[in-house]
Structure 1
Amino acid sequence: MPAYMGSASKQQEVLQVNATWWKNLKRDIPGYLFIAPSLICFLVFLAYPAVEAVRISFYQLNMKQSRFIGLDNFRKLFYDETFLTAFGNTFKYVIYIVPICVAFSILIAVLIQHKSEKTAAFYRGVFYIPVVASVVSVSLVWGAAFEPVIGILNYFLSLLNIAPVTWLADPNTAFFSLVFVIISWSVGQPIILYSAALGGISNDYYEAASLDGAGRFRKFVSITWPLVKPTTLYILVVTTIHAFQTFAVINLLTKGGPYGTTTTIIYELYQNAFVYTDFGYASAMGTVLFVVIGIISYFQFRFTTAKIEY
């Protein structure tokens, strides 16, 4: 074959590839335009600040100076008693909140599954109202309920001749009071998701199990729980991330007290960044929290998805 024929053949292939690429691009342009606003917002308001926060964590940065100090901020974290206390408290929030949210949500979803449509919608609405309301408003309502003098909780205790409790000022009750408040607005969305997942399970499975003499508990263990595992994975990961990011309720009700029993990494990050204006040290806290959440989410996906059957 002459050289010019081979060259022409290659040129034709290149032109064909370019034509195909341009045709596909024109086809995909509307899709790119639709995702462009969200993509731009993600890059500008999430991706860039996250990368910048990691960069700042290697600096001594405040309102007066900016000086590169390497890993000094991270070394300081290991000797900061306040941060270590916040780190431990953050894990305590996760340990208490996540299992309770998952267990309570699946329980409520199962209980209302066979109720009438109006009754099920009523209960779903009741649990979902705190999700629609802002965290600030819900926190303030619970703050009024926990008020030691005129709060409704101590009023009910007085009816039982029980001494009033300083719910948010006592180290023995403050942490668990906040856990209860956080759970009160954290179960709404999981209940909706579990209800939707349960609605997608065919009744044929339950009818076959009934013919085999299976009770309600056996049906739940052998049918319901395995089939809602994908939903459980999503709820597990999202609830864990939210628990690690607990801040508003602490800032509004306890300010991290009493004696640091309710403080978290996010609250200490806020204090260092916007009260003490030590942005580099605060960014180091945020970077550590980011890494911890990433590691835990990885293992949740790793060990949970391995048991999911599609």
Structure 2
Amino acid sequence: MNTMDRDLPYASTTKTTAKVKQPLRTAINRNWTETLLGYVFLFPSLLLFAVFLFYPLIQTFYLSLHETDPRGRIASFVGFDNFTAIFTSERFYQSLGVTGLFTLLTVPTVIILALILAAFTHNHLKGMRIFQFIFSLPVVLSVGTSAVIWMMLFHPSVGMLNYLLSLVGLEPVAWLTDPRWALLSVSMMTVWMNLGFTYIVLLSGLQGISDDIYDSAKIDGSGPIRTFVQIVLPLLSPTVFFVTIVSIIGAFQSFGQIHILTRGGPVNSTDVLVYSLYQDAFINFRFGTGSAQALVLFTIILIFTFVQFKVFERNVHYQ
């Protein structure tokens, strides 16, 4: 074998290696291009998050460590004194209790009513579309519009609710001025306002369950109630879990209806955390205390959501 024959394998190996490296480099360049293109498309969303979410969060934490003057300008650095004042304040725990009671009055009621309405209107009968449209109507109304409508219903002299009570011989109720009835009245309005969204979500979840499941249950001799409790509810549990989390977060953040109907009264009976935060920050111009309350509220909602995922998600049956 001459020298030329011995050099041929090495030359072919070098060419093969070069051919392998070239597609590899092309693939790496393509991946980098796709990644860069993805960030380009994400940039508008990231910019909006930065301006309207991340910057306000950082600014809130900064303000929570400072004290402001009567004009709302930063006066001095106080560290964690604002948080200490919150956790040693009787008003904070009263507002927390009112918020918890408001959540208990609204969230289970909304979910149960929406689930019942969705179950009754899920049937493919003539005219059900009309009822689905009617039960979904509250979702199109704003908080302000809904609050004004219910303020007229709650009116002590010309309101429809007291008129209905008078028809059955009952005394009129001071719905929004009696501390015993104010929170319940606001809760009634909130249940009606949130019913449309919860109903639409639960109805969509029911429509996602295959009709074959109902047919199989009917063949096995299962009645409507047993089928709904033992078969439909487990299949609907992811949707119920979702609306529960969203409803609790919404209840902790409720403000508009309370501001319009009662302004936290009477006797602070409807003074929820968000309204207490609003009064400190935008009425008394104590932006430091208000920012600290906002962070405390954010932490409470975060803890509640985390506990729900850890405790209740194990009972959710995903298909």
TM-score normalised by structure 2 residue count:
0.87
Q: Does 1:94 align with 2:103?
A: yes
- Bigger Cα Rg: 2
What secondary structure, in the 3-state scheme, does the structure 2 residue paired with 1:169 have?
coil
Q: 1:23 aligns with which of 17, 26, 30?
A: 30
Give the distance between the partners of 1:16 and 1:276, measured in 2 at CA: 67
Q: 1:245 aligns with which of 253, 276, 279?
A: 253
Matched AA of 2:136: Y
Q: 1:108 aligns with which of 94, 112, 117?
A: 117
Give the distance between the partners of 1:38 and 1:129, measured in 2 at CA: 31
Verify the 8 A CA contact 1:124 1:188 in the aligned structure 2. Answer: no
What secondary structure, in the 3-state scheme, does the structure 2 residue paired with 1:66 have?
strand
Verify the 8 A CA contact 2:255 2:275 in the aligned structure 1. Answer: yes
Q: Which structure 1 segments of 5+ residues have no match?
A: 1-8
Give the distance between the partners of 2:129 and 2:50, measured in 1 at CA: 38
**Aligned counterparts, 1:43-58, within 5 A:** 43-58=50-65
How far is 1:30 from its partner? 5.0
Paired position in structure 1 for 2:87: 78
Share of identical aligned residues, percent? 34
Verify the 8 A CA contact 2:66 2:74 in the aligned structure 1. Answer: no
Verify the 8 A CA contact 1:171 1:261 in the aligned structure 2. Answer: yes
Paired position in structure 1 for 2:207: 199
Moved more, 292-301 or 50-59: 50-59
Instruction: Provide the alpha-carbon RMSD of the alignment.
Output: 2.3
Inter-CA distance 18–284: structure 2 relative to 1 (3 Å threshold): farther
Give the distance between the partners of 1:164 and 1:307, measured in 2 at CA: 45
Verify the 8 A CA contact 2:118 2:199 in the aligned structure 1. Answer: yes
- Paired residues, what number? 301
Matched AA of 2:266: P
Give the distance between the partners of 2:96 and 2:230, measured in 1 at CA: 38
Matched AA of 2:34: R
Q: 1:256 aligns with which of 264, 276, 279?
A: 264
Q: 1:185 aligns with which of 182, 193, 206?
A: 193
Verify the 8 A CA contact 1:171 1:258 in the aligned structure 2. Answer: yes
Q: 1:154 aligns with which of 135, 152, 162?
A: 162
How far is 1:212 from its partner? 2.3
What secondary structure, in the 3-state scheme, does the structure 1 residue paired with 2:298 have?
helix
Map Cα deviations across residues 14-73 of structure 1 (whole Å, 9 max, x no partner): x87765343124335554444332322122101221222122212113424332212111
Verify the 8 A CA contact 1:254 1:262 in the aligned structure 2. Answer: yes
Paired position in structure 1 for 2:139: 131
Give the distance between the partners of 2:54 and 2:125, measured in 1 at CA: 45
Paired position in structure 1 for 2:66: 59
Paired position in structure 1 for 2:290: 282
Moved more, 93-102 or 264-273: 93-102
Map Cα deviations across residues 98-119 of structure 1 (whole Å, 9 max, x no partner): 11111111111111111436x3
How far is 1:204 from its partner? 1.9
Matched AA of 1:37: P
How far is 1:169 from its partner? 0.3
Map Cα deviations across residues 264-291 of structure 1 (whole Å, 9 max, x no partner): 1100111111110000100111111100
Verify the 8 A CA contact 1:233 1:301 in the aligned structure 2. Answer: no
